[in-house]
Structure 1
C-alpha cells in the first residue's frame, strides 16, 4: 500500500470521525429509536449492541457501494481526459469540508438536495422496518438509511471518486464510514463525552486545517510538483548517505 493511499485513508477516517456531530444530527433520531424506544422484550433476545452493529454495518456497506458506483463514474471521466477537472472539484470540496469541520462555512450542506428525490422513494421502505427487533432487520435498515441525503457524505464521495478507480473509491468510503462508528455507537454518558471532545475548537480547527491543506494539495497545479520534491528530499538524502 502506497504512502499516498495511507494518507488518503487516514483523511477519510478523520472526516468520518470529526463529522460525527453532523452524523448525530442526521441519524441521531433513528439511533435513539434503536437504543431507547425498543423495549428489551421486543428484541427477541438479541443484545442491543448486536442491533447497533448490524445497523451501522448496513449503513457503511451502502457508503462503500456508493463509493464503487461513483468511483466507476470517476474512472470514466478519467478516460475522457477530464481527470484534472475532477481533481479540481475534489480539491475544492476538500477545502469546503475543512471549512465545514471548523464551523467557518456551512455551504457544504446545500448539496444535500441532490439526493432528496431518491430518498423520497427509499424512506417509506426504511420506515416499515421500525421497530427493529432482529439484526437482519437492523442490517437492512442501515443499508437503506445510508442513502439519506448528507452533504458530508456526498462531498466525500466526489472526493473519493476523483482517484479514477472504483476499488480505491470504495475503500475510502469504507474508511469514512468506519470513522463515523465511534460517535454513532456510543450511548449515554459516553456519547456526551465523545461529542464534547469532538467539539473542542482546537481539535476541530487543527483537523480542519489538515483537510484544507490536503485539498490544496489535491488541486492540480505546479505546487504539487514542488511538494513532492520537498517530501522526497529526506528520502534522497538518506539514500545518498547510505
Structure 2
C-alpha cells in the first residue's frame, strides 16, 4: 500500500493546483448554488456544498474506474507505453492551459459536450437545491461536466493499469479540488483572487508540466511497474 502513496499525493496536488481552473469551470456554479438556497435553508449551506462536492468526486472516482478498466486492458498489451505518453502529453497540455500559455485543451473539453447535452437538463431539475438528496444528485451529474483538468487526470490515472487504483486516484484528485470550490461557495474573494492570479496559475501550470514530463515512460518508472 505504501508504494501508491506518492501517486495519491500527486493526484491530490494536481487537484489542488488546478484550483484556478476549477474556479473558472465550477466556481460560478458554487456561488449560484449558495445564493439559490432558500433563506429557511441557509443553515444547511455548508452541508449542501459538501454533499454537492461529494457527489462530484464520486463521479470522478466512477470515471476513474471505468477508464481504469480500459487502462488495465491496454496495460496488458504493447500499447501500454502509448497510453502513458498520451497521459503525459495531456498533463503537459493542462499545465500550459492553467498557466494561460496555450488553450488547445479547450478543444478536448468540447468533445465532452455530447454527453453533457443529455445530462444538463436533468441537472437543472435540482436547482435551486431544496434538500440534501438534491445537492448530492446535482454533484453526481455535475461531475461529468466537460473539463480538461478532469480528462487529463483520468487518463493519467487509467495509465496506471489498475481500475481500483485509478478510481482511488480520481477520488484523491477530487478531494484536492475541495478547498477551492467550498471556499468559492462562500464567496471567499481573497482566495479566489489569489488562485486566479497570473503568478499562481503560472507556478501551478509549470509544476503540472514538470509532472507530465516525469510521467513519460522511462527507467524512472521501473520501481512503479515492479509494484
- Give the TM-score of the pair, scaled to structure 1: 0.83
- 1:202 offset after TM fit, Å? 4.3
What is the aligned length?
223
- 1:76 offset after TM fit, Å? 0.9
Higher mean C-alpha displacement, 67-76 vs 7-16: 7-16
Q: Matched residues in 2 for 1:218 and 1:207: separation? A: 17
State the match for 2:181 in structure 1: 184
Q: Matched residues in 1 for 2:132 and 2:89: separation? A: 39
CA contact (8 A) 1:46 1:134 kept: no
Runs of 5+ unmatched residues, structure 1:
229-242
**Correspondences of 1:1-242 after superposition (within 5 Å):** 1-3=1-3, 5-41=4-40, 43=41, 47-187=44-184, 191-221=188-218, 224=220
- 1:190 offset after TM fit, Å? 6.2
- 1:79 offset after TM fit, Å? 1.9
Higher relative CO (Cα under 8 Å, sequence separation at least 6) belongs to 2
CA contact (8 A) 1:95 1:211 kept: yes
Q: Matched residues in 2 for 1:182 and 1:200: separation? A: 17
CA contact (8 A) 1:183 1:191 kept: no
- 1:187 offset after TM fit, Å? 4.3
Q: Matched residues in 1 for 2:201 and 2:16: separation? A: 11
Q: What secondary structure sits across from 1:163 in the alignment?
A: coil
Q: Matched residues in 2 for 1:48 and 1:11: separation? A: 30
The 3 A distance-change label for structure 1 pair 188 and 30 is closer
CA contact (8 A) 1:57 1:139 kept: yes
Q: RMSD in angstroms over aligned alpha carbons?
A: 2.2
- 1:85 offset after TM fit, Å? 0.5
The 3 A distance-change label for structure 1 pair 115 and 189 is closer
Structure exhibiting the larger radius of gyration computed from Cα positions? 1
State the match for 1:233 in structure 2: none
- 1:205 offset after TM fit, Å? 3.5
The 3 A distance-change label for structure 1 pair 79 and 147 is same
Q: Matched residues in 1 for 2:89 and 2:194: separation? A: 27
The 3 A distance-change label for structure 1 pair 118 and 76 is same
CA contact (8 A) 2:31 2:185 kept: no
- 1:158 offset after TM fit, Å? 0.7
Q: What secondary structure sits across from 1:21 in the alignment?
A: helix
Runs of 5+ unmatched residues, structure 2:
none
The 3 A distance-change label for structure 1 pair 202 and 30 is closer
